Amino acid sequence: MKRLLTALLLVTALAVAQPAQAQAGPGRLQIRGADVSSLAKSEAFGGVYRDARGRQGDALRILSQAGLNYMRLKVWVNPADGYNTKTQVLAVARRIKALGMGLLVDFHYSDTWADPGKQFKPAAWEPLPFDQLRQAVYDHTYDVLDALRRQGTAADMVQVGNEINGGLLWPDGSNANWANTAALLNAGYDAVKRVSGSTKVVLHLANGGDNGLYRWWFDNAAANGIRYDVIGLSYYAYWHGTLETFQANINDVATRYGKPVVVVETAYPFTTADDDGWENIIVSAEPYPGYRATPQGQSAMLTRVADIVRAVPNGLGLGLFAWEATWTGVKGNGWDPADPASGNGWENQALFDYADRALPAMSVLGRL
């Protein structure tokens, strides 16, 4: 029976890493991905991307040629700057799929950033009673995904919420009330499956090294009938605990809940320098012991995280996404959609350097 269960879990994990064209070679991760949510705005404001030899080109093609096979795009509802909406997702998805790569769509259910510290409702949804709020989640999710399907670029995986440690759409969907949390998440799940039964639904928490959080959250998810296919984690080594605690947690949740796992966000700096006059979020010369903020340190950290995912028992470790790989220091493409003067605190963790060239970590990730 144990052998049968292990075999079934392995088959499930293999089925999740769609699409079929995103092939993994022997020992390679099924998902070697990057979040490119900032790309459309970067390009609109003059962002340039070059391969490792300095030749200018399409950032997505450069990533694909380096061996990456999955891209992640976030969706906001009505952001102040008009970016990260259905319009940009549709346009970039066409390019992603034309290169034969998989697509993960990340619904924030907000007009701005949603994360463990803030899950703000979209302004248009603020006055809605709960039943209408649940319907809005369903309708918005269905609308974006059905538009993708109709243009021939269906999503392969979908996050229903982003870093939902404390629930979503506060206060209604706070997990102070798990019944409400479940109703909203299941509305999103149902919309995903109505568009495409083969699209996999990811539930995504931050703090990837916190096993207590993950057990508490997914035990409650089970008790409240929350439906999903894949467990997504954010793991940033300088914030989320040691590599060892991350490894212990990802192994535990995969086997405890019998679900494939994917690191939907990770990153590491390649320099301490600044490129846009806006202070970077991570400025230490050695943000994690033994891994300096250099191109070599960035490559080594991504390799270590990938090795941990690859070693998840029963083949349940799908892969990882380098977060905001194309968010270079382009004036106008700052972090705050409501403030055109804001800068980018992340450009020292992109996969392109300050000369716009692909960093070594890109080809390392593509081979993992």
Beta-sheet pairing, 70-75 with 31-35: parallel
What single-letter amino acid sits at 57? G
DSSP assignments along 57-126, one per residue: --HHHHHHHTT--EEEEEE-SS-TTS-SSHHHHHHHHHHHHHTT-EEEEEE--SSS--BTTB-PPPGGGT
**3-state class of 204 per DSSP?**
strand
Q: Name the nearest CA neighbour of 161 among 111, 195, 110, 207.
A: 110
- List CB contacts of 104: < 8 A, sequence separation 6 or more: 33, 70, 71, 72, 73, 155, 156, 157, 158, 159, 202, 264, 321
Beta-sheet pairing, 200-205 with 230-234: parallel
CA torsion 70→343→206→191, rounded to 10°?
-60
Q: Name the nearest CA neighbour of 220 among 166, 169, 158.
A: 166
List, by residue number, the catalytic residues. Answer: 163, 265
Q: Name the nearest CA neighbour of 359 among 83, 105, 31, 34.
A: 34
- List CB contacts of 307: < 8 A, sequence separation 6 or more: none
Separation in Å, CA 190 to CA 51, 92, 108, 226: 41, 25, 17, 11
CA distance 223 to 178: 9
